[in-house]
Structure 1
């Protein structure tokens, strides 16, 4: 009943307010007091009493009297309550029952002398024994020894969540000192909040759901590997009991058959390290292998290796060094979580478990380490308990995640440990071909994995041999089906990510998270850590905004995808399920036939390898989608690359992925379309259809959708057996999602009030060149990339193609005997279009070289009909086209090319002096280019000798790489700054925002607002003297170096961007 909730809140606040603050916290959050008192208050509320008396609640209980009268700290108060918890049930019950007699007002007085408050209090006291009996088997019987975690926080958090579970602790009510309960509640409304009963119930339900999601998220992050190991053990037991093996899918039966032998092999290895006689050869990896139970190590090894085999570019094999490092890193991460959850368990508990730390690591070194660990964490534990009492649970999560003071494991440790686990996997994992139908032949039993060596030709007469783990063909045939049984760390979160508070503080609750992916570059890492937090405030807040955007799986699109996938793929850009057949060996001695056969075989194997990789990638994406299909919302924590670009930390299904990923994702929170939203969905459909449609004006794009409305609605209603217009789109699954949203909006009867979850994109026009044009105030370049308004969007690729055509037409008229370009120009007649030059124009912002441009154009020419009989002529034509294309770019973006050259020259000067190029982005992010020469050192492992790259920051810089990479890296730091500024401004305006570098997403009804915001922030960004600041930064860092002056700039007025409708479109 609503009134019951209100009354119960009031009763609790009344009984709490008479105590000092630290006692109040114990009463309201501690077992068993809170559980008993809560039950009594609930029962009293049910009797609809109209008043309660604040009085001597705990003064007659001996143990609680210690708390009441003491001026001790909150820690001591909590300890007093815990001592009561640990008392025997009979002692506790006796104490409470005897104490209750003194709580009642004297009954010898005349009944008429008792006030309504006295009577109410008598009834409350009478209820306490009953509540004691009803709660003694639930709230009170807690084994506190099981709650002694390394930081001793989960017991305290259990206390704080005890009252919250029934939503009876209202911070606004409890926090008011000396406020007595009121005698009546008006019409079931809350004390001071003004909320009605329905609102209170809704709030209660919302908070309970949030707590459940938080618990699930914690479990996902901290128990994934242990959960998998438990499932394997249970499935094995069930399989043996019920003979389920023949009914298991082949992929699952493989993993199950490998689990027990691998676990036993690891257990033997752990025991061997515990034996001093066999310890010598295990000294490097033994102590680390003994820090996790064997079953968890087995699951980590199996799943990580299978995951690498699924995702690696090589067909069915992975480099040993890569696999060893990945497995070693996964073990280290789980060790930190495992120690956090278990390092305070008493040794006697560990001795009884054959998989416990005490059994597998029974040696002085580990025992000393464990004791030192407990001592070092005592200070942190006290801090956590204080934060728990202050209800600062987010801060507690952060401390828990980063409490370990252990030094990170070195790469050598990762390699040694990972190699030994791989070796055990190879020794214990076998595969048997499926049995024949007659049952007489059980199939050949052979190793599931083999260690082999491959030869890689670096250049003529220079080879490099490297070791790989290669899986058997039977395993390879089923490997893409095993994704549903894989543990996938760093899944999207069920709750909003922790706000970033430091380099390693934020993102996931417990999984290792860093605000920047430094790839081992210590110089970059320290630059971020040493930067005052206030200087990076905008960057951090923007990352938090990106992480707080909620997502949901588009179930209707997923249903279509799964039907197509089960039917064999090969449609809507889905890879085909079957491999191409390998050509049969020719029965001839003709060398030319044999050469053609070898080429065909090589091509078929390459195609199959690509298909295998794409199939595994698709299975991973669909696996994640199916795990999240019933979630109302999930979130992507974001972090940065060294240039400042933001990326989701989950790697498989995210909005930065391909068309399949984007089609499967919609916003968790919907918004009404409003007056303009329906039009923007139509424009989105035209953009996704692609081709020349995306180059039309907005009105023409909307008209394109109107003209095909019947086919669009048919695609939404009958995607697989209708006209299937969506399959003709360049981005078919996103197009299908837009079709469905448009159909639902029209079917609602009032599109303006229809709540849409569809993300609508606004993309930059060759965004890198837009930033160069803004830097150089380049008017001609600005016109070609839509910084200046036009009737329809300008197409820079078509513009460059037209310039190239004009030059070639002139050259084609010349005499081939006197002009070396005439023949090539004639060969290219009719071949010049936007597709031929597009890649070169796109990569020009990345500093594409002549050689790179030549290769790009040559590849495009090879995709077409031959333009010449002799391949040499085609090659010469590609060289000529590359030169002309780069010249045309230089003419169109004159100021931009000058700035690009100036940036390269500055980087060359810095690198020549032996320094890395470093700068600060406009938002205060320090950026250090990581390009250095790296040495290699050899590490002998149980499998082979591995060559590890030494990433020491003391190595010489790679001068050429520092120079060539600086211009594109600098521009990336600018486009990330624009995206983050837009994200923050959208958040403040109440818009949902997602960013994919130069593509900004929001609800259809908010597109026009976002367009205004992103233009204002682009102008705001370039009002800063960016190049002058960069030069000053360089001169400050390197006072002994002389840098060229900033290039002259054009006369572009950046405010024209505000009026350009196709700047982002």
Structure 2
């Protein structure tokens, strides 16, 4: 395409190109190539009869190029109207043809009309473009077939070269890219041989295929310490089963088409019958057609949204009678992720609720306490004291009994709670273990989470007691609320009329993500979304004031963490600019993080009908990016520490467990032990080493790290709400 456009500019293209030259001016080669390839593949492999006939294919190519030009013209000449139409009428399920029809109608109603290209022009463009595709790829050709004594049809078909390539790709996919289901036998252990080579674990075929790496996006030559490897192998040995009660309830909700949280089954929208006067009443007919269009659009959107739920149910039904295991691997920071996509704890509320530990434990007094905790926490009382949560459960046994014994009938009692499916599962377990007492063992997964783990880690690194108090690192009578504290402090930087806007929910996502180097742009988005949910639509200037106030508030009440982040950003940037190609550090568990953040040449194209496309071009000449390292290092350093806390904690824990980043899950009777181990591990890690000073030497920092020095990490041992 580029060569053709160059010849047209220099007058060397020849007579054939004269008729199409004017149509190529408004489209860049990358856009033309993308559109043409899409149309060719769509037509050649369409299931519609005759779709790959030569003439319809040529016209389709020309029409697709015209559509892109038409939309660019709309946007250039009438940007306001085009934006209005896009926002009001286009949505995720809107196809390119539907978008074109809608835009043409709306512009036509305002007497704005595009001058259509002739069939001859579109055919000429299609012939030129198809010829280029066939010549450059060698993947398509024209097949001539006799259909009548004197008639032939001509079709665009794949060549033998393409079919060979396709067969090769499919064979490779079958061998190396199978669906990673849970396993019915214990996965192989990960490890290293005597020469330091990785012993591939997980799936039994992984030793030979090497399709799943120990460390995703990591350096495969690095040898990690024993502690993280033992942690991963322990995690793989845990037995799971499907929660039959949750699955039964889910199937009932699927049949009813009920959406509950992120459980989204297929639920067809209402289709109105055609009005009896549709043939004579144009207004009535138009209203019905619009209603039908919206109904079909809603169905398409629902079908896309229901994919996750449909696959979750398929997996649950596939394994509903089995005990199974999960294969796990690390990301390059040491966090553990399950390799299967379904039936894992790292899923939606429904996805978590569908799982149980297969090895159950006796229902002790401690188990009853933590089952009560799980009921109240999933209901939405996660900010209350443990005593208040337990009291709420004791006062609501009637509600719990209804939800446990007939969740379908009493759906309204649980569908709007904080985590509906986990709440329903917890009610069922609590009822049978603690109310009816007809069940003597429990396998429910009970979860406790870190309190704003980014700030907990930064408080330990900076030895900052004031921050530690805000995030439950030190003992307190009730859970501290850092989000609420930031919201209150932010009021000092805002005019009085904005004070009631500042709630914990408005500040929560920003406070959570600032330790991970969230930008002010993303904070604007989070804060605006939260305000809109509360019925407040701030102006641009007001939003800027609020964002700045939240950042100023963070500087005021968590100065240690903010200084640490700025220090890391500054000195990592210098380290890369001075010639380093990567940043590497050893975590407290012995996991080695190797962070590479390079600039890669990228071509970006935005099509009006097909959306935005980015093409990464690996030239082999990648350059370490100081800016990417500056934005990545602080969050990755924090993530590597929360991963290390789990690695070391579970090295001493020998009961079934699982993890979700900075959340730990185990059986109710084991939670007291696990909670103590996590606190002790945090205390030991931040007492045994000055980790920031060690990191300063690693990156040759020119200044010492900002250590506040007011925190005794051992205080966390008595903190009830550290993980809660």
State TM-score, norm by structure 1. Answer: 0.48
- Determine if contact 1:504/1:514 at 8 Å carries over to the other structure: no
Q: Does residue 1:886 correspond to 2:551, yes or no?
A: yes
Give the structure 2 partner of residue 285 of structure 1: none
Tell me the number of residue pairs that the alignment of Structure 1 and Structure 2 aligns.
Answer: 550
Higher relative contact order (CA 8 A, sep 6+): 2
Distance in 2 (alpha carbons) for counterparts of 1:805 and 1:728: 31
Distance in 2 (alpha carbons) for counterparts of 1:931 and 1:668: 41
Distance in 2 (alpha carbons) for counterparts of 1:609 and 1:911: 48
Deviation of 1:937 (Å):
9.2
> Residue 429 of structure 2: which of 741, 746, 753 is its match?
741
- CA, structure 1 residues 748+719, in 2 after alignment: closer, same or farther (shift >3 Å)? closer
Distance in 1 (alpha carbons) for counterparts of 2:226 and 2:43: 49
Give the structure 2 partner of residue 933 of structure 1: 599
Q: Does residue 1:554 correspond to 2:243, yes or no?
A: yes
Correspondence list, 1:949-1028, <5 A: 949-951=616-618, 954-987=621-654, 991-1023=655-687, 1024-1028=689-693
Distance in 2 (alpha carbons) for counterparts of 1:686 and 1:800: 26
> Residue 430 of structure 1: which of 32, 37, 47 is its match?
47
Distance in 1 (alpha carbons) for counterparts of 2:351 and 2:201: 25
Of 978-987 and 568-577, deviating more is 568-577
Q: Does residue 1:569 correspond to 2:258, yes or no?
A: yes
> Residue 707 of structure 1: which of 370, 382, 395 is its match?
395
Give the structure 1 partner of residue 363 of structure 2: 673
Q: Deviations over 1:851-882 (max 9, x none)?
A: 32222212222333345xxxxx6221111111
Give the structure 2 partner of residue 508 of structure 1: 203
| SS at 1:911 equivalent | helix
Distance in 2 (alpha carbons) for counterparts of 1:607 and 1:957: 46
> Residue 635 of structure 1: which of 325, 330, 339 is its match?
325
Give the structure 2 partner of residue 859 of structure 1: 529
Q: Deviations over 1:788-846 (max 9, x none)?
A: 111111111111111123443xx43xxxxxxxxxxxxx2x2422211111111111111
- CA, structure 1 residues 495+771, in 2 after alignment: closer, same or farther (shift >3 Å)? same
Q: Deviations over 1:415-446 (max 9, x none)?
A: xxxx99x98896455269xxxxxxxxxxxxx9
Give the structure 1 partner of residue 22 of structure 2: none
- CA, structure 1 residues 903+560, in 2 after alignment: closer, same or farther (shift >3 Å)? same
Q: Deviations over 1:99-126 (max 9, x none)?
A: xxxxxxxxxxxxxxxxxxxxxxxxxxxx
Deviation of 1:578 (Å):
4.1
Deviation of 1:491 (Å):
0.3
- Determine if contact 2:265/2:310 at 8 Å carries over to the other structure: no
| SS at 1:762 equivalent | strand
Q: Deviations over 1:66-122 (max 9, x none)?
A: xxxxxxxxxxxxxxxxxxxxxxxxxxxxxxxxxxxxxxxxxxxxxxxxxxxxxxxxx
- Determine if contact 1:714/1:724 at 8 Å carries over to the other structure: no
Correspondence list, 1:192-591, <5 A: 427=44, 430=47, 489-502=179-192, 503=198, 505-511=200-206, 512-519=210-217, 524-526=218-220, 529-531=221-223, 535-575=224-264, 577-578=266-267
Of 537-546 and 497-506, deviating more is 497-506
Give the structure 2 partner of residue 1060 of structure 1: 719
Deviation of 1:517 (Å):
5.0
- Determine if contact 1:712/1:726 at 8 Å carries over to the other structure: no
Distance in 1 (alpha carbons) for counterparts of 2:492 and 2:337: 42
Distance in 2 (alpha carbons) for counterparts of 1:428 and 1:775: 58
Deviation of 1:727 (Å):
1.9
- Determine if contact 1:908/1:962 at 8 Å carries over to the other structure: yes
Q: Deviations over 1:439-459 (max 9, x none)?
A: xxxxxxx99xx99789799xx
Q: Does residue 1:847 correspond to 2:536, yes or no?
A: no
Distance in 2 (alpha carbons) for counterparts of 1:567 and 1:694: 31
Deviation of 1:664 (Å):
0.3
Deviation of 1:921 (Å):
2.1
Distance in 2 (alpha carbons) for counterparts of 1:708 and 1:845: 38
Q: Deviations over 1:336-393 (max 9, x none)?
A: xxxxxxxxxxxxxxxxxxxxxxxxxxxxxxxxxxxxxxxxxxxxxxxxxxxxxxxxxx
Q: Which has the higher helix share?
A: 1
Give the structure 2 partner of residue 732 of structure 1: 420
- CA, structure 1 residues 602+840, in 2 after alignment: closer, same or farther (shift >3 Å)? farther
Q: Does residue 1:625 correspond to 2:319, yes or no?
A: no
| SS at 2:652 equivalent | helix
- CA, structure 1 residues 836+789, in 2 after alignment: closer, same or farther (shift >3 Å)? same
Distance in 2 (alpha carbons) for counterparts of 1:866 and 1:1007: 41
Deviation of 1:494 (Å):
0.8
Deviation of 1:665 (Å):
0.3
* Structure 2 unaligned residues grouped into runs of 5+: 1-30, 50-55, 77-92, 98-173, 193-197, 275-289, 605-612
Distance in 1 (alpha carbons) for counterparts of 2:348 and 2:200: 30
Distance in 2 (alpha carbons) for counterparts of 1:678 and 1:1001: 16
| SS at 1:683 equivalent | helix
Distance in 1 (alpha carbons) for counterparts of 2:503 and 2:645: 32
Q: Does residue 1:802 correspond to 2:491, yes or no?
A: no
Deviation of 1:541 (Å):
0.9
Q: Deviations over 1:500-551 (max 9, x none)?
A: 02446111011444344544xxxx424xx243xxx52111111111111111
Deviation of 1:496 (Å):
1.1
| SS at 2:329 equivalent | strand
Distance in 2 (alpha carbons) for counterparts of 1:492 and 1:723: 31
- Determine if contact 2:461/2:690 at 8 Å carries over to the other structure: no
Deviation of 1:947 (Å):
8.3
Deviation of 1:470 (Å):
12
Distance in 1 (alpha carbons) for counterparts of 2:226 and 2:211: 18
| SS at 1:623 equivalent | helix
Give the structure 1 partner of residue 574 of structure 2: 909
Deviation of 1:699 (Å):
1.1
Deviation of 1:950 (Å):
4.0
| SS at 2:649 equivalent | helix
- CA, structure 1 residues 471+539, in 2 after alignment: closer, same or farther (shift >3 Å)? farther
- Determine if contact 1:506/1:513 at 8 Å carries over to the other structure: no
- CA, structure 1 residues 601+798, in 2 after alignment: closer, same or farther (shift >3 Å)? farther
Distance in 1 (alpha carbons) for counterparts of 2:230 and 2:618: 31
Distance in 2 (alpha carbons) for counterparts of 1:1022 and 1:562: 48
| SS at 2:630 equivalent | helix
Give the structure 2 partner of residue 305 of structure 1: none
Distance in 2 (alpha carbons) for counterparts of 1:472 and 1:857: 33
- Determine if contact 2:432/2:438 at 8 Å carries over to the other structure: no
Give the structure 2 partner of residue 370 of structure 1: none
- CA, structure 1 residues 470+423, in 2 after alignment: closer, same or farther (shift >3 Å)? farther
Distance in 2 (alpha carbons) for counterparts of 1:772 and 1:726: 37
Deviation of 1:652 (Å):
2.7
* Structure 1 unaligned residues grouped into runs of 5+: 1-318, 323-418, 433-445, 462-468, 474-485, 585-598, 813-825, 868-872, 939-945, 1036-1041
- CA, structure 1 residues 425+679, in 2 after alignment: closer, same or farther (shift >3 Å)? same
- CA, structure 1 residues 430+603, in 2 after alignment: closer, same or farther (shift >3 Å)? closer
- CA, structure 1 residues 642+601, in 2 after alignment: closer, same or farther (shift >3 Å)? farther
Deviation of 1:472 (Å):
12
- Determine if contact 1:983/1:994 at 8 Å carries over to the other structure: no
Deviation of 1:951 (Å):
4.4
Distance in 2 (alpha carbons) for counterparts of 1:606 and 1:785: 45
Deviation of 1:556 (Å):
0.9
Distance in 2 (alpha carbons) for counterparts of 1:645 and 1:669: 25
- CA, structure 1 residues 536+953, in 2 after alignment: closer, same or farther (shift >3 Å)? farther
> Residue 508 of structure 2: which of 838, 863, 867 is its match?
838
Deviation of 1:572 (Å):
4.2
Q: Does residue 1:1029 correspond to 2:724, yes or no?
A: no
Q: Which has the larger radius of gyration?
A: 1
